[in-house]
Amino acid sequence: MRRIEDAGDLLECATPSAWFDRAEREVETLLIDHANCEKKAAGTALSMLYRYVDKPRLLRRMSRLAREELRHYEQVLAMIDRLGLHYGHLSPGRYAGSMRINIRTTEPGRLIDSLLVGAVVEARSCERFAGLAQRFDGALAGFYARLVEAERRHAMVYFELASMHADANEVAGMESRLGEIVSAERELITAPDAEFRFHSGAPAQSAVA
């Protein structure tokens, strides 16, 4: 099993610098989609509370994580208001749906894959929060810097829960499953993406021009 000691160990590539360049130009879209991501993260944790009622450790961790994600959602909304921006509808990007394709549909694989996907998604958010904190200044820089540690912790919670709930057969296959999920995530991050979203890939050439 690959050595996973920090959220960054769950990623195979860094976010392209062109994505950060575009984030600086499209702050409103960035924040709206960030808020939507926090809602979806809370929803993922809540769905696990309903689905896996026989796993007390998972229930406790997901309950806390859902509360934290909703609190982050509120903080993003407050930042949108502070900057005088408008929180409106925004279509989802390709990232979340494409990552869910990697989740098996039968148990126990469904649980393990859901947790591994959650770990990788949170790790990517952590990496982007850290990068945004360096790119922005003032309130936005401080805002993203404060989120880094929580996101790092969330990534490790997901990974540790996957390791904890894997039976003998799943433990043997976890490295392969994680490798497939991480490779799929790398492709989403590095491949050209026509839309700009919090988890979008490299901006397509037409978007950069």
SS (H, E, C) the chain: CCCCCCHHHHCCCCCCHHHHHHHHHCHHHHHHHHHHHHHHHHHHHHHHHHHCCCCHHHHHHHHHHHHHHHHHHHHHHHHHHHCCCCCCCCCCCCHHHHHHCCCCCCCCHHHHHHHHHHHHHHHHHHHHHHHHHHHCCHHHHHHHHHHHHHHHHHHHHHHHHHHHHCCHHHHHHHHHHHHHHHHHHHHHHHCEECCCCCCCCEECHHHHC
How confident is the prediction for the chain on average, in pLDDT? 94
The pTM for the full model equals 0.95
**pLDDT in the model for residue 106:** 94
Are 120 and 185 within 8 A, CB to CB?
A: yes
**pLDDT in the model for residue 2:** 67
**pLDDT in the model for residue 1:** 59
The CATH architecture of the domain made up of 20-208 is Up-down Bundle (1.20)
**pLDDT in the model for residue 209:** 43
**pLDDT in the model for residue 208:** 46
Every domain of the chain and the residues it spans: 20-208
Residues lower than pLDDT 50 in the chain: 206-209
**pLDDT in the model for residue 55:** 96
